[in-house]
Amino acid sequence: MPYDAAATRARIMEAATAEFAERGIDGARVDRIAERAGANKASIYSYFGNKEQLFAAVLERQMGELIEAIHIRPERVPEFAGELFDHYRAHPELLKLLLNEAQFYGAKHSSEDPVRIAHYQVKTDALAAGQRSGHITADLPPAHLLMLLIGTVAWYYAVPQVAAALLGDGDDPEVVAAYRASAVEAVRRIITPLPAEGATEPRARS
């Protein structure tokens, strides 16, 4: 059977994703990745370079999948928050990789990544458009709103021990659904413009 380079690269990426998510950049070992992938270390170095370059490729793929899967529109920001929550649940390795990146590199690494910067710029631009159209409060800067939104939905999975202490079994579907609903509602309240000064709230129909 001829050698399948694409299949080998895919296996390496899958194995590296699991290894980095479980052990971080410091704790990950190229020989373990090679063993998990059914490949040799030489192929890893040939395709991806050193361990840090392999980590960068893994995180870039994870972020690329998020960018392709989840889109923000000014008129449906709370729904976006729910979809982002679902993505983190379906891809728990993403937040682990981001936390590992922060621990290993600090803030500078992602702030110099043009792909990441462009990704966040698209989202802040959408929030700014929502502010201009009146869908979103103009009382907070778009970047602050995005940070609040991400934190609201991501913290559940970023610190599962805190979620468990506060909410119970974080894998219980009922607990997950209840927190998701609360997160979406919290984002809705954060972005909703306040009534103009002197205006009154519309009365609920009886």
Same domain, 8 and 76: no
| Structural domain contains residue 196 | no
Helix (H) or strand (E) holding 92: helix 92-105
Same domain, 108 and 157: yes
| Structural domain contains residue 14 | yes
Same domain, 32 and 83: no
Residue 198 clears pLDDT 70, i.e. is over it = no
Same domain, 117 and 48: no
pLDDT at residue 111 in the model: 65
Q: Which domain CATH number covers 24?
A: 1.10.10.60
- pLDDT tens, 50-72? 999 999 999 999 999 999 999 99
pLDDT at residue 114 in the model: 84
Ramachandran class of 168: left when φ > 0, alpha when ψ lies in -120 to 50, beta otherwise:
left
Same domain, 9 and 37: yes
Q: Which domain CATH number covers 157?
A: 1.10.357.10
Same domain, 177 and 87: yes
Name which of 48, 8, 46 is nearest 28 in CA terms: 48
What lies within 8 Å, CB to CB, of 13 at 6+ separation is: 57, 58, 61
- pLDDT tens, 18-35? 999 999 999 999 999 999
Residue 200 clears pLDDT 70, i.e. is over it = no
Number of domains into which the chain is organized: 2
Residue 83 clears pLDDT 80, i.e. is over it = yes
Taking a C-beta distance cutoff of 8 angstroms, is the pair 136, 130 a contact?
Answer: yes
Domain that holds residue 19: 1-54
| Structural domain contains residue 121 | yes
| Cα R_g (the chain), whole angstroms | 21
Please state, rounded to an integer, the average pLDDT across all residues of the chain: 90
Same domain, 20 and 45: yes
pLDDT at residue 106 in the model: 86
Same domain, 47 and 136: no
Cα-based distances in Å from 3 to 8, 9, 41, 43, 140:
9, 11, 16, 12, 55
| Structural domain contains residue 199 | no
Name which of 88, 80, 28, 90 is nearest 56 in CA terms: 28
Same domain, 85 and 4: no
Same domain, 183 and 145: yes
Residue 77 clears pLDDT 70, i.e. is over it = yes
Please count the other Cβ atoms lying within 10 Å of the Cβ belonging to residue 32. 16
Q: What angle do CA 157, 116, 90 make, to 5 degrees?
A: 30
Taking a C-beta distance cutoff of 8 angstroms, is the pair 91, 97 a contact?
Answer: no
Same domain, 30 and 99: no
Residue 161 clears pLDDT 50, i.e. is over it = yes
- In this prediction, residues 141-159 reach a mean pLDDT of 96
